């Protein structure tokens, strides 16, 4: 069930693909990573804290500047090609190119004058698994625009543009976590992000542990509407507490307003308020190298997401159980928006080889599903790939 540690896409394979499609070498190769969130789920749009890490799976793009302000993207994985004129974006098309078009739109709204390019794209970020393949695509496109246009690489500005593309062009009301970690990741570190100030604090991943992502192979369904519902419930809970966001609500205040708020809003808010505290505690635990405490906080995060925020599924719960029963597991929780996708497990570094098949077998016995495991390293954010 193990997927190769780093899937076989390389700078050389992207150059070769570009040459085959466009008959010349690309001027640059850029790449932007996917991410796994260690803890801090559904807190970004509540002005809270998150702690993701960028992972060694990337959206790769070979690019060559064009002089006519057209963007053409050839996707190897989708075996598809799409193009658009920067001067005439019209509206969304309802497919994958919208992430690139939406980003061009958002950057133009920010008064950037963009040049066009030809691109060949290939990705090792699993799609729809909750590992932010779309944010990685957006940040690869952002890195490409910076490479061909007269613009500086500013991870925060690019992440904001990516979020705006999702919110206003693609129609997904996401927070800023995914774009920000794909743009601003740091090798060897998770990043504690304050989603209000957008301050990013790198926290070294303890050497004694490995991060294993376990893909249930189930995909999100109804995620868009359920996700937006959760956002609405969180805002309503904040209003009931007289606050602009749940970041400003204390556990005591939440208890006081409990009756007025109704049970569902209370439980949603309880998750967010407690998760924000857990995320800060997790950052401290990592700095102290207290991996047992980090694992416990991850376990508690899953309970809260399952019972209070209600974004887990039977498959995700079964995977969490399977992971916790496997050798070396320190903690496990669903990661990303929920409703399907992946579990992140913290595993004692020496036990990964025993952990993966054990967790996989118990999960299959419980569900009949075939999972995949990705052993993930924390990597840098979007960059020009100078060598393999």
Is 317 part of the annotated catalytic residue set? no
CB of 184 to ligand GLA, least distance (A): 15
Q: Which is nearer to ligand GLA, 139 or 151 (CB)?
A: 139
Please answer whether residues 132 and 178 qualify as being in contact, where contact means their C-beta atoms are separated by less than 8 angstroms: yes
CA distances to 319, 324, 362 from 366, in Å: 9, 14, 6
From the list 171-179, 183-191, 351-359, 365-373, the region that binds ligand GLA by CB under 6 A is: 171-179
Nearest to 331 by CA among 156, 161, 209: 209
Q: Which is nearer to ligand GLA, 17 or 336 (CB)?
A: 336
Q: Which is nearer to ligand GLA, 56 or 178 (CB)?
A: 178
Residues sharing a CB contact under 8 Å with residue 121, sequence separation 6 or more, in sequence order: 59, 60, 61, 73, 74, 75, 76, 77, 137, 140
Residues 299-328 that bind ligand GLA (CB under 6 A): none
Choose which of 170, 177, 190, 320 interacts with ligand GLA (CB under 6 A).
Answer: 177
Q: What is the DSSP letter of 260?
A: H
Q: Which is nearer to ligand GLA, 97 or 176 (CB)?
A: 176
| Distance from the Cα of residue 58 to its chain's centroid | 12
Instruction: Tell me how many degrees the CA angle 219-364-367 measures, rounded to the nearest 5.
Output: 60
Could you say whether residue 291 binds ligand GLA (CB under 6 A)?
Answer: no
Could you say whether residue 273 binds ligand GLA (CB under 6 A)?
Answer: no
Complete DSSP assignment for 287-340: HTT-HHHHHHHHHHHHHHHHHTS----HHHHHHHHHHHTSTTEEEEEE-SS-SS
Choose which of 161, 337, 347, 373 interacts with ligand GLA (CB under 6 A).
Answer: 337
Residues sharing a CB contact under 8 Å with residue 256, sequence separation 6 or more, in sequence order: none
| From 44, 178, 215, 308, active-site residue | 178
Nearest to 183 by CA among 31, 344, 47, 29: 31
Could you say whether residue 358 binds ligand GLA (CB under 6 A)?
Answer: no
Give the count of residues interacting with ligand GLA (CB under 6 A).
10
CB of 86 to ligand GLA, least distance (A): 26
Residues 40-69 that bind ligand GLA (CB under 6 A): 41-42, 44-45
73 exposure class (CB count in 10 Å sphere: 0-12, 13-18, 19+): buried
CB of 334 to ligand GLA, least distance (A): 10
Nearest to 140 by CA among 286, 47, 33: 33
Q: Which is nearer to ligand GLA, 71 or 345 (CB)?
A: 345
CB of 150 to ligand GLA, least distance (A): 30
The owner of tokens 């309503």 is 236
Choose which of 174, 234, 238, 346 interacts with ligand GLA (CB under 6 A).
Answer: 174
CB of 175 to ligand GLA, least distance (A): 3
From the list 20-28, 38-46, 292-300, 351-359, the region that binds ligand GLA by CB under 6 A is: 38-46
Choose which of 17, 62, 155, 175 interacts with ligand GLA (CB under 6 A).
Answer: 175
Residues sharing a CB contact under 8 Å with residue 195, sequence separation 6 or more, in sequence order: 43, 44, 45, 46, 47, 48, 49, 50, 175, 176, 177
264 exposure class (CB count in 10 Å sphere: 0-12, 13-18, 19+): middle
Q: Which is nearer to ligand GLA, 49 or 355 (CB)?
A: 49
Q: Which is nearer to ligand GLA, 84 or 227 (CB)?
A: 227
From the list 74-82, 144-152, 175-183, 243-251, the region that binds ligand GLA by CB under 6 A is: 175-183
Contacting positions for ligand GLA (CB under 6 A): 41-42, 44-45, 174-175, 177-178, 336-337
Could you give the residue numbers annotated as active site? Answer: 178
């Amino acid at each position: 069930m193990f997927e190769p540690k780093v899937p076989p896409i390389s700078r050389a394979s992207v150059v070769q693909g570009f040459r085959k499609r466009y008959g010349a070498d690309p001027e640059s190769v850029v790449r932007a990573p996917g991410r796994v969130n260690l803890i801090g789920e559904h807190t970004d749009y509540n002005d809270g804290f998150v702690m993701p890490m960028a992972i060694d799976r990337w959206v790769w793009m070979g690019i060559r500047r064009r002089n006519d302000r057209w963007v053409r993207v050839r996707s190897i994985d989708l075996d598809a090609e799409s193009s658009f004129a920067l001067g005439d974006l019209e509206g969304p098309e309802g497919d994958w190119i919208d992430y690139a078009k939406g980003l061009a739109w958002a950057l133009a709204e920010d008064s950037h004058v963009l040049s066009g390019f030809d691109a060949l794209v290939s990705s090792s970020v699993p799609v729809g698994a909750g590992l932010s393949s779309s944010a990685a695509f957006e940040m690869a496109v952002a890195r490409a625009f910076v490479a061909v246009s007269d613009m500086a690489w500013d991870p925060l500005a690019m992440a904001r543009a990516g979020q705006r593309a999702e919110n206003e062009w693609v129609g997904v009301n996401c927070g800023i976590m995914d774009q920000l970690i794909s743009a601003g990741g740091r090798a060897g570190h998770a990043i504690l992000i304050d989603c209000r100030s957008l301050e990013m604090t790198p926290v070294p991943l303890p050497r004694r542990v490995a991060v294993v992502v376990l893909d249930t192979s189930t995909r999100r369904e109804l995620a868009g509407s359920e996700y937006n519902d959760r956002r609405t419930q969180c805002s309503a809970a904040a209003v009931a507490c007289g606050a602009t966001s749940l970041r400003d609500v204390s556990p005591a205040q939440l208890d006081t307003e409990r009756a007025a708020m109704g049970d569902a809003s209370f439980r949603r808010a309880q998750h967010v308020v407690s998760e924000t505290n857990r995320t800060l505690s997790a950052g401290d635990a990592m700095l102290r190298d207290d991996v047992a405490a980090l694992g416990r906080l991850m376990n508690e995060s899953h309970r809260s997401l399952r019972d209070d925020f209600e974004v887990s599924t039977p498959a995700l719960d079964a995977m969490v159980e399977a992971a916790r029963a496997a050798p070396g597991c320190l903690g496990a929780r669903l990661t990303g928006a929920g409703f399907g996708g992946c579990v992140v497990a913290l595993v004692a570094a020496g036990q990964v080889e025993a952990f993966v098949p054990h967790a996989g077998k118990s999960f299959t016995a419980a569900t009949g599903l075939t999972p995949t495991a990705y052993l993930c390293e924390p990597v840098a954010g979007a960059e020009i790939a100078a060598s393999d």
